[in-house]
């Protein structure tokens, strides 16, 4: 019998997977430490269809049994801390499936948990969470899954059993790099211009920047051994057109004052650029600008905190996140 399935992180992807896998694997949602009701009464919305599901959940501090099978659905910047937070409750040979955008966090897990079976996924599913107990399956996509280390696991069979379109791939890092270069051309620029994806192609300055970012990304990734049949700009422009009305996840995070997944996307590209000696000034400038904006926002929030409550503007920042760019 397969070990119980846990899902770490009850955000958009965590709730989507919990809902889809409930009928086939009855997963347990692992939440931040704290007291949680034993079941989350979750609504899954898919077009006009609405389904109510009772999902088992508990705070990571309430875990008693070893976690042997785990899907990690935190943002890239939280993965390592979240897994380390499980401590000895994470079985040394646990099977892990990582569902993060960008690159770098997956390799960090491989290094930190050498005894675990580690798989990574690159997913074009679209989900958002309008309320803590509701997830909207906004766009059907394809999830590619590949092994990074350790024993073989049938994650593809599990996700397919849950009704998700899924395929096994040999070179998951190539797929992650392919998604990273599209994300690197669209997401930070939508934050810089505070615009929807499609508007990037309507604003000459944004489109020109996207072309320069694309040329740099192609050169950096080629130096790192990743080549693609189509230039990054062409692919990103096609995605921007297909998702013209969408607000990118990074812009949603920026508007909500949440940390951005910038490190795993532009940050990783810049690391590769440095490693291979390929110039990437456009990405570096964009990264620096978004980090500076985040620092400015934190400074504003800090001075607001220093003022009397009656004069304070906006919410105080979450100290747990205070060193991360929030756009």
Ligand X SMILES: NC(=O)c1ccc[n+]([C@@H]2O[C@H](COP(=O)([O-])OP(=O)(O)OC[C@H]3O[C@@H](n4cnc5c(N)ncnc54)[C@H](OP(=O)(O)O)[C@@H]3O)[C@@H](O)[C@H]2O)c1
Q: Which stretch binds ligand X (CB under 6 A): 48-56, 123-131, 222-230, 279-287?
A: 123-131
By CB under 6 A, residue 246 contacts ligand X: no
Cα–Cα distances in angstroms (integers) from residue 318 to residues 61, 291, 301, in the given order: 21, 16, 10
Which residue among 179, 211, 283, 324 is the active-site one? 179
By CB under 6 A, residue 250 contacts ligand X: no
Cα–Cα distances in angstroms (integers) from residue 184 to residues 131, 145, 207, 209, 211, in the given order: 28, 21, 13, 11, 12
| Angle at CA of residue 78, ends 223 and 312, nearest 5° | 115
| CB 85, min distance to ligand X, A | 5
By CB under 6 A, residue 257 contacts ligand X: no
Residue with tokens 């501090």: 61
In whole angstroms, give the CA distance from residue 146 to residue 304.
46
Please say if 75 is a catalytic residue: no
By CB under 6 A, residue 291 contacts ligand X: no
By CB under 6 A, residue 127 contacts ligand X: yes
State which of positions 197-236 bind ligand X (CB under 6 A).
none
Say how many CA atoms lie within 13 Å of 97 toward its Cβ: 26
- With contact defined as beta carbons under 8 Å apart, do 157 and 24 qualify? no
The interface mask with ligand X, positions 24-63, x = CB under 6 A, is ------xxx---------------------------x---
Nearer to ligand X (CB atom), residue 191 or residue 211? 191
Element (H, E) at 40: strand 39-46
State the residues that interact with ligand X by CB under 6 A. Answer: 8-14, 30-32, 60, 73-76, 78, 82, 85, 99-101, 123, 125-127, 129, 249, 261
Catalogue the active-site residues.
179
């Amino acid at each position: 019998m397969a070990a119980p399935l846990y899902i770490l992180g009850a955000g958009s992807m965590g709730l989507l997977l919990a809902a889809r896998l409930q009928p086939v694997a009855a997963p347990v949602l692992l939440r931040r430490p704290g007291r949680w009701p034993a079941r989350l009464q979750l609504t899954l919305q898919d077009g006009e269809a609405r389904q109510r599901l009772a999902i088992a959940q508990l705070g990571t501090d309430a875990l008693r049994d070893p976690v042997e099978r785990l899907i990690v659905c935190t943002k890239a910047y939280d993965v390592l801390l979240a897994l380390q937070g499980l401590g000895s409750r994470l079985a040394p040979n646990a099977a892990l499936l990582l569902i993060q955008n960008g690159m770098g966090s997956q390799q960090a897990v491989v290094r930190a948990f050498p005894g675990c079976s580690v798989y990574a996924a690159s997913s074009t599913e679209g989900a958002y969470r309008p309320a803590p107990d509701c997830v909207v399956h906004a766009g059907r996509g394809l999830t590619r899954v590949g092994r990074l280390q350790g024993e073989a696991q049938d994650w593809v069979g599990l996700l397919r059993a849950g009704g998700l379109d899924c395929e096994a791939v040999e070179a998951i890092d190539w797929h992650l790099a392919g998604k990273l270069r599209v994300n690197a051309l669209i997401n930070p620029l939508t934050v810089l211009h505070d615009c929807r994806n499609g508007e990037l192609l309507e604003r000459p300055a944004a489109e020109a920047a996207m072309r320069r970012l694309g040329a740099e990304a192609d050169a950096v990734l080629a130096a790192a051994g990743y080549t693609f049949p189509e230039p990054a700009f062409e692919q990103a422009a096609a995605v921007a057109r297909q998702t013209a009305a969408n607000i990118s996840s990074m812009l949603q995070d920026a508007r909500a004052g949440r940390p951005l997944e910038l490190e795993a996307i532009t940050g990783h590209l810049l690391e590769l650029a440095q490693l291979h000696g390929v110039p990437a000034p456009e990405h570096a400038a964009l990264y620096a600008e978004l980090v500076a904006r985040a620092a400015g926002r934190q400074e504003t929030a800090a001075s607001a905190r220093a003022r009397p409550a009656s004069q304070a503007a906006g919410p105080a920042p979450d100290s747990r996140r205070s060193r991360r760019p929030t756009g």
